Structure 1
Amino acid sequence: MKTIATAQITTDVPGQAFFERWADMATWPAWNTDTEWVRLDGPFRTGATGILKPKGGPATRFVVTSLIPGREFTDVSLLIGAKLTFQHRVTEEPGGRTTVSVHVTIAGPLAFLWNAVLGKGIAKSLGDDLSRLEAAARAAGVTA
């Protein structure tokens, strides 16, 4: 398994606001510049599946492999010969602060190829996408 990118922010936006944005996958393109569209098959829960369409790339199936509401979720994109994993974590800090982190890894026999194709773009956009997600979460007006 190879780490492609990590990003982290600490904010006054409640963690629940981030989970509401993540759960509403149809709105991901509003804050994730690499995504054209996302469709989730059913509710946002462990085992949920869907399809996402990256800009400039083919539609890709994914699965939510882990979901602990309010704390973390992991989704895995099923690429040919590799799995691209996004682990999202929210930690409520003292004083009403929230730390949000995203860790992206790739594994599988063709991981080297997919890393060459996707790695730099993901690494370049992840921090900015997290900042736009924070703005979207703030705009949603969720309070603790």
Structure 2
Amino acid sequence: MMTLGTAHITSSAAPAAFFARWADMATWPEWNADTAWVRLDGPFTEGATGVLKPRGGPKVPFVVSALVHGEEFTDVSKLVGARLTFRHLVSATPEGSTRVDVTATLGGPLARLWNLALGKGIAGSLQTDLDRLRDVAEAAA
């Protein structure tokens, strides 16, 4: 498995504010510049499936592979011969703020090929998208 990128932020918004944004997948394009739309097939729970449409790319099925409200949200997109994973970790800091860490990884037999196609774009937008998510979460709080 290869790491495409990592990003982190601290925020005055509570962990629940981030989980509210992640659960409301129809609003992802507001803070994720690479996403045209997202559809979740049912409630935001571990094992839930959906489809994501990147801007300029084909629809991609995904699964919510881990969900611990207030702590972790991991989604895995199923690419041909590879899996693109975004792991989001949320924790309280000693100062009373919220820290959010996001890691994007690629695994599978065609991961190196997908890295050539997607790697730089994901790595380049990960921090910007997380900064935008922080702004949205704080504005909603």
Superposition TM-score tier, normalisation by shorter sequence: over 0.9
Matched residue type, 1:125:
S
Where has structure 1 moved over 2 Å in runs of 4 or more? Answer: none
Matched residue type, 2:98:
T
Identity %: 62
Matched residue type, 2:85:
T
Q: Pairwise mapping of residues 1-144 of structure 1 onto structure 2 (< 5 A)? A: 1-141=1-141
Counterpart-to-counterpart distance in 2, 1:37 and 1:103: 21
Alpha carbons 2:29, 2:37 under 8 Å: kept: yes
Following TM superposition, by how much is the alpha carbon of 1:52 offset from its aligned partner in structure 2, in angstroms? 0.2
Counterpart-to-counterpart distance in 2, 1:77 and 1:49: 10
- How many residues are treated as equivalent by the alignment? 141
Q: Aligned-residue CA RMSD in angstroms? A: 0.6
Following TM superposition, by how much is the alpha carbon of 1:93 offset from its aligned partner in structure 2, in angstroms? 1.3
Matched residue type, 2:68:
I
Following TM superposition, by how much is the alpha carbon of 1:82 offset from its aligned partner in structure 2, in angstroms? 0.2
Following TM superposition, by how much is the alpha carbon of 1:94 offset from its aligned partner in structure 2, in angstroms? 2.0
Counterpart-to-counterpart distance in 1, 2:114 and 2:57: 12
TM-score by length of 2: 0.98
Unaligned runs of 5+ in 2: none
Which secondary structure does the structure 2 equivalent of 1:96 belong to?
A: coil
Counterpart-to-counterpart distance in 1, 2:72 and 2:14: 14
TM-score by length of 1: 0.96
Structure 1 range deviating more: 74-83 or 88-97? 88-97
Counterpart-to-counterpart distance in 1, 2:38 and 2:126: 17
Matched residue type, 1:68:
V
Counterpart-to-counterpart distance in 2, 1:94 and 1:109: 41
Unaligned runs of 5+ in 1: none
Counterpart-to-counterpart distance in 1, 2:43 and 2:11: 27
Counterpart-to-counterpart distance in 2, 1:33 and 1:135: 14
